[in-house]
Structure 1
Amino acid sequence: MALRVVPAALTLNSDRTERPSDRTVISRRRLRAFWARRADAENPLKAWYGVARRAQWNNLVEIQQTYPSAEAVGRYTVFNIKGNAYRLVARIEYHLHIIFIKEVFPHAEYDKDKWK
């Protein structure tokens, strides 16, 4: 029986440069889709993503040390983006180190509460 060698480039997660403490943010694609429609949101969302990926948050109180206006709405955490022009809604699984982005909304659309 011959052993098959799989190149490192083909192994799962071989291209990841995350530190063990980095959080997984699912999915950055939603952020990109939003800033494709609203270019002024690109830099603030990229900044949020960079902070969130490296955050060591264990609860909402710790999030509020970085983002004082973050709030819990049901099982979601809502972040103000770009001076409250936009709202990022995410579910955070603290023990798994995963942030699930539900959606990004213009503030007025968020206020309609259709996302809940």
Structure 2
Amino acid sequence: MPRITYIQPDGTEQCVEVADGVSVMHAALASGVSGILAECGGAASCATCHVYVDAAFSERVGPCGEDEDAMLDCTASARTSLSRLSCQIEMSDELDGLIVHLPEAQA
């Protein structure tokens, strides 16, 4: 099973194993990772699952879609070139070891 490491703003890390096809957001919710609100449940319509993908994985997660790109303009924390909505990243073996950094605020 692929693994994701979530890094909190204070540097605290939490590593979780995830089944293929599960979103980074759903994995965080199921594992009790704080800092992901996911108010819309994964519909890419609230921007409360904003994460910063570690630069080493930025190309592997692929580009964001049009709807995601629009929602990233609504994040509570600053948008960067590494910003993604975690509901839009599906885990796979190719993403094993994915590292995401959580922003200071979601809402």
User: Could you tell me the TM-score, scaled by structure 1's length?
Assistant: 0.31
* Structure (1/2) with the larger helix percentage: 1
Q: Comparing both chains, which one has the higher relative contact order based on Cα–Cα distances under 8 Å and sequence gaps of 6 or more?
A: 2
User: Could you tell me the TM-score, scaled by structure 2's length?
Assistant: 0.32
* Structure (1/2) with the larger strand percentage: 1
Q: Which has the larger radius of gyration?
A: 1
